[in-house]
Amino acid sequence: MASKLDQLRAITTVVADTGDFEAVRRFRPTDCTTNPTLILKAAQSPAGAELIEEACLWGRSHHGMTSRVADRLTVSFGAELARIVPGRVSTEVDADLSFDTEATLTKARAFIADYHSRGIERDRVLIKIAATWEGIDAARILQREGIDCNLTLVFSLAQAAACAEAGVFLISPFVGRIYDWHVKAVNKTFTPETDPGVRSVRQIYDYYKAHGITTVVMGASFRTLGEIEALAGCDRLTIAPQWLEQLGQAEGPLPRMLDPMRPAASVPARMNLDEKTFRFLMNEDAMATEKLAEGIRLFAKDLRALRELVSQRLEGSVDPLAAPLSQEIG
């Protein structure tokens, strides 16, 4: 019998949640996602050190500010990944721009222009943006310009519905972080079937399919293999190397749990959210509000660490293989 990873590939687009080039080559995902935490981690590898050196050489010759060099490094990682995977690479807009629509637009367009200068066209790239109201508004504009977006840090149906109305290409609901919040809130663990993160993705998936919404649902941030198996059949799943490894070694049948031809018995009516309603619904959802804010803080923290690494490397005062790394990945 085929491994569970091979069975999953047959019903779900498998995406690697990593900046590790060797892991991507090994597991052969269709797409790849990155974020500041993953790039900071990958920058500590020998291959990453080479990209840091190239970006810093460019920065010195172009009198580039640290932030511009960090942006170049981010696209360099994405470009290398795009040469490995056949599909798309997600590149994340700075977390500290999550509440600034215009700045998000400027950064996203700059990323696309940099990719184009390296021979990688926009149909190979997803611009990754936090699913705040301002981020969703920026994505609405970018989608009209032909720049596809991945709205990340999705924790609620309200976020998913707003992304759908904006015509977003893809959303990333965070299974594991939803699970974490509920475990802490009620001081208990869950089975894959009762897991609140799994249930959230299933609700969003059913909502999209019932209303004919074409936005791709890509489950992200997993804590157990059971969570992944419970979402088999989801449009896409972005999975860290440790779980890809375990799926590749696991045997036994992997039943399809999500199926667009098997509609849910009950689905909420389609929502058309204005800003006031969106913000109120988020305010009513303590988990979504807290995890969105926390996610932005964590990504911003690692973005600052990445910029500090670049700054010190520009001055020749740090070993890139010894940079500090956040413990929060997914």
pLDDT of residue 328: 56
Task: Tell me the average pLDDT across 158-172.
Answer: 98
By annotation, the residues acting in catalysis are 128
pLDDT, tens digit, for every residue of 234-243? 999 999 999 9
pLDDT tens by residue, 178-194: 999 999 999 988 999 99
Q: Which CATH superfamily is domain 4-317 in?
A: Aldolase class I (3.20.20.70)
pLDDT at 176 over 80: yes
In 3D space, the residue among 239, 245, 198, 243 whose CA is nearest the CA of residue 220 turns out to be: 239
pLDDT grade for 107, boundaries at 50, 70 and 90? very high
What is the reported pLDDT for 104? 98
Distance, CA of 107 to CA of 123 (rounded, Å): 17
| pLDDT per residue as tens digits for the range 235-270 | 999 999 999 999 999 999 999 999 999 878 899 999
Q: Which residues pair with 220 in a beta bridge?
A: 174
Kindly tell me if the per-residue pLDDT of 324 is higher than 60: no
pLDDT at 329: 54
Among residues 16, 6, 10, 66, the alpha carbon closest in space to that of 237 is found at 16
Q: Give the pLDDT confidence score for residue 263 in this predicted structure.
A: 79
Q: What is the DSSP secondary structure assignment for residue 124, as one 8-state letter?
A: G
pLDDT number for residue 44: 85
- Residue 287 in this model has a pLDDT that exceeds 80: yes
Per-residue pLDDT of 26-70, as tens digits, reads 999 999 998 989 998 888 889 998 999 999 999 998 877 899 999
Least confident of 37-41, 147-151, 324-328: 324-328
